[in-house]
Structure 1
Amino acid sequence: MGGQYRITGDKYPRMRRRRRPGRIVVLVVASAAVLGLIGWGTTQLIDVFTGDGGRKASAVGTKADCGSKASPSPSARPLPEPRGITVNVFNATTRSGLAKKTADELKKRGFRIGDVGNAPKEYDKKVKGTGVLLGPTAARDTALSVLGTQLPGAERRTDPARKGAAVDLVIGNAFKELAKKPDADKALAALTRPEPAPTAKKGC
């Protein structure tokens, strides 16, 4: 053969194909993925044997348990017992005998009875509801609340100028009778032992 290149001897030059860069990229990515999986698997095994997995599970469980935890909700002031409350019973209706009858029933239920009779002019024949519970400002959430369990529908009023701890029960036109004793006892128990208020756990 003529030309610049001649073939001599028994060896011939080999013609190699050019490598495609796409195939190399695929191989590199695949290798990286395999190495990543191996590393992740190793980490998981280490966590299992060292106990980290247990701590993680515990942490997840703690977060799942974070919710409302019932805790007591104490009253702002301690409630007095019926025997520590003096009640004046007044009748503002035209029906006779209601004040004494109601006073006797309250006495049976443990209340101390003060004055019994007709209502003063400011209330006489002017109470349309079941009754009015009247007392000093300090009795709003204490003595009046306890007395209110005996007559749930009664209106509660306070008088800042009033002296002493006694409270009044003024019987109104809609009055029929005091609450049934079992119902009154149940209401009093719920008042002295309120349901716990839900509060969030610390650290949640």
Structure 2
Amino acid sequence: MGGQYRITGDKYPRMRRPRRRGRLVVLTVTSVAVLGVAGWGTVQLVDVFTGGGDPAAAVGTKAACAAEASPSPRPKALPEPGRITVNVLNATTRGGLAKKTADELKKRGFSIGEVGNASKQYDKKVKGTGVLLGPASARDTSLAVLGTQLTGAERRTDTVRKGTEVDLIIGERFTRLTAKADADRALAALTEPKPAPAAKKGC
């Protein structure tokens, strides 16, 4: 340069970006990231409660609500008392109970079969009010209907037993059949469908 140009003074130009602009960029990026995370979380929560827009999930929710709102299925059809043949057997030492009980059951519409004393298997061995005995197929049908007439009677089934007849074996604690009005209400309750459950919120 031949010494023609001389630099005087003690200040020199600094070649770096202003700090303010760098901070602004960092803050902008951070804000966008925070908003993105928050928005994603909100979408996830909405999906949880609405099924995420998935038609299958929506259908499943509607089906569940419909199932809860629909009434319970009707109980199995029960036979009328007149279609049930009852053998009335006395397992106590008190005489005349079998005939008296059979006569009352007949008045209530039941068909009566054998009337007499219980077999050795049960004679003087029934400590409760009585035993209702029948084939396995009668547990929830004929025995259920007959059970409305004698509260507290034990139900038993015999897998070897043939036919459809059922036995009412009178026990030591027997005094009389259930009052007719109470027996009629119990019988009606067997044939009534259960009330539908209340629908959940959101259905």
Normalising by structure 2, we get a TM-score of: 0.66
Aligned to 1:112: 111
Aligned to 1:6: 6
Distance in 2 (CA, whole Å) between partners of 1:94 and 1:188 is 30
Aligned to 1:188: 187
Check whether the contact 2:74–2:194 (CA below 8 A) recurs between aligned residues: no
Aligned to 1:163: 162
Residue deviations 1:110-132 (CA, integer Å, cap 9, x gap): 22222222223332222111111
Aligned to 2:126: 127
Distance in 2 (CA, whole Å) between partners of 1:27 and 1:59 is 40
2:27 is the alignment partner of 1:30: yes
Check whether the contact 1:73–1:197 (CA below 8 A) recurs between aligned residues: no
Provide structure 2 residue ranges, at least 5 long, that are not aligned to the other structure: 37-46, 53-57, 198-203
Normalising by structure 1, we get a TM-score of: 0.66
Once the two structures are aligned, what percentage of the paired residues are identical? 61
Q: 1:133 offset after TM fit, Å?
A: 0.9
* Alpha-carbon distance change, 35 to 122 in structure 1, aligned in 2, over 3 angstroms: closer
Q: 1:35 offset after TM fit, Å?
A: 6.4
Provide structure 1 residue ranges, at least 5 long, that are not aligned to the other structure: 40-54, 199-204
Residue deviations 1:80-103 (CA, integer Å, cap 9, x gap): 121211111111112222222222
Distance in 2 (CA, whole Å) between partners of 1:120 and 1:56 is 66
* Alpha-carbon distance change, 111 to 5 in structure 1, aligned in 2, over 3 angstroms: farther
* Alignment-mate amino acid for residue 100 of structure 1: K
Q: 1:195 offset after TM fit, Å?
A: 2.8
Distance in 2 (CA, whole Å) between partners of 1:33 and 1:22 is 17
Check whether the contact 1:73–1:196 (CA below 8 A) recurs between aligned residues: no
Q: How do 1:3-82 and structure 2 match up within 5 A?
A: 5-6=5-6, 16-17=13-14, 19=16, 23-32=20-29, 59=51, 69=68, 71-75=71-75, 77-82=76-81
* Alpha-carbon distance change, 170 to 19 in structure 1, aligned in 2, over 3 angstroms: same
Partner-residue secondary structure (3-state), 1:110: coil
Distance in 2 (CA, whole Å) between partners of 1:74 and 1:95 is 42
Check whether the contact 2:92–2:172 (CA below 8 A) recurs between aligned residues: yes
Aligned to 1:172: 171
* Alignment-mate amino acid for residue 72 of structure 2: P
Distance in 2 (CA, whole Å) between partners of 1:152 and 1:194 is 22
Two-structure CA RMSD over aligned residues (Å): 4.4
Aligned to 1:149: 148
Partner-residue secondary structure (3-state), 2:114: strand
Q: 1:171 offset after TM fit, Å?
A: 0.3
Check whether the contact 2:132–2:169 (CA below 8 A) recurs between aligned residues: yes
Residue deviations 1:159-179 (CA, integer Å, cap 9, x gap): 233232111101000112222
Distance in 2 (CA, whole Å) between partners of 1:129 and 1:157 is 13
